[in-house]
Chains A and B, each alone.
Chain A
Amino acid sequence: SYELTQDPAVSVALGQTVRITCQGVNLRNYYATWYQQKPGQAPILVMYGRNTRPSGIPDRFSGSDSGGTPSLTITGAQAEDEADYYCSTRDSSNNSPRAVFGGGTRLTVL
C-alpha cells in the first residue's frame, strides 16, 4: 500500500525560504499535490502538477520533484503562510484506486 511521509513540523523566519517535502510519492504515476489548511478552515489547493499554482495562490509558492521527492517551497514566507500543509497523490497500483494524503506539516513562521 501507499504511504506518504511528511515532517510533522517546520519553522521558518519571516521572509526566509522554507521547503516542505513529501516522501513516498511514486512520480512514475502522478505528481504530488499540495494543500494548505488554516485552523478552522477547509484545505485549499496550493500546488499541483509539475509546478502549477491555482489562481489566487501567490507566486512565492512553488513545487518541485528534485531527486524524486516532491517538495513545496515558500520563498519569502509571510505570516499568513503559517498553516498545516498536506501532500497528496493517487494510488492506482491495484484495481481499487484511491487518494492518499501525507500526515501533514505544521509550518510556523517566526
Chain B
Amino acid sequence: QVQLQESGPGLVKPSGTLSLTCDVSGYSITSDNWWTWIRQPPGKGLEWIGEIYRSGSTHYHPSLRGRVAISMDKFKNQFSLTLNSVTAADTALYYCARPIFGDNSWYFDLWGRGTLVIVSS
C-alpha cells in the first residue's frame, strides 16, 4: 500500500525558513512520476506549490518562485519542500501528493494527511 507522510516543524518564525519532508512508502520515488506539494490556508482552498520529477526537474507556482525549492532524496525515498522568507500568509496545512496523468487528465491519486505549519513569532 502506497502511503505519503509529511513531517516537519509546526511553527516557523516570520522571515524564517519552512522545511517539510514527505516520506513515501510502498512505492519508489524514482518511478516515472512527479511528486507535488499543495497547501491549504485555514478555511481556504487548495493551492499548488510545485512539483519534482525523478530527474530533479522542478516546476513552481509563479507567485512562490524565488522563495521555494523542492528536492528529493532517492536513498531515503522522500522529497522535501523549502520555503524561505515566510510570512503569516504562508500559514497553512501542507500536503504532499502524487500526480498521475491518465485518461487525458492530471489528477492527484494519493495524498498525505497534511501537516499544519503556523508562521508566528
The residues of A with any CB-CB pair to B shorter than 8 Å are: 1, 30-33, 35, 42-45, 48-50, 52, 54, 86, 88-90, 96-104
Which residue of chain B has its CB nearest to the CB of A8? B45
The residues of B with any CB-CB pair to A shorter than 8 Å are: 36, 38, 45-48, 50-51, 59-62, 95, 99, 102-109, 111-114
* Chain B binding surface SS class: strand
A residues near B109, Cβ cutoff 8 Å: 45, 54
Q: Which of B59, B95, B99, B114 is A96 in contact with, Cβ under 8 Å?
A: B59
A33 and B106 contact, CB distance less than 8 A: yes
B59 and A97 contact, CB distance less than 8 A: yes
A residues near B38, Cβ cutoff 8 Å: 99
Which residue of chain A has its CB nearest to the CB of B4? A42
A residues near B61, Cβ cutoff 8 Å: 98
A50 and B103 contact, CB distance less than 8 A: yes
Q: How far is the CB of A81 from chain B (nearest CB, A)?
A: 19
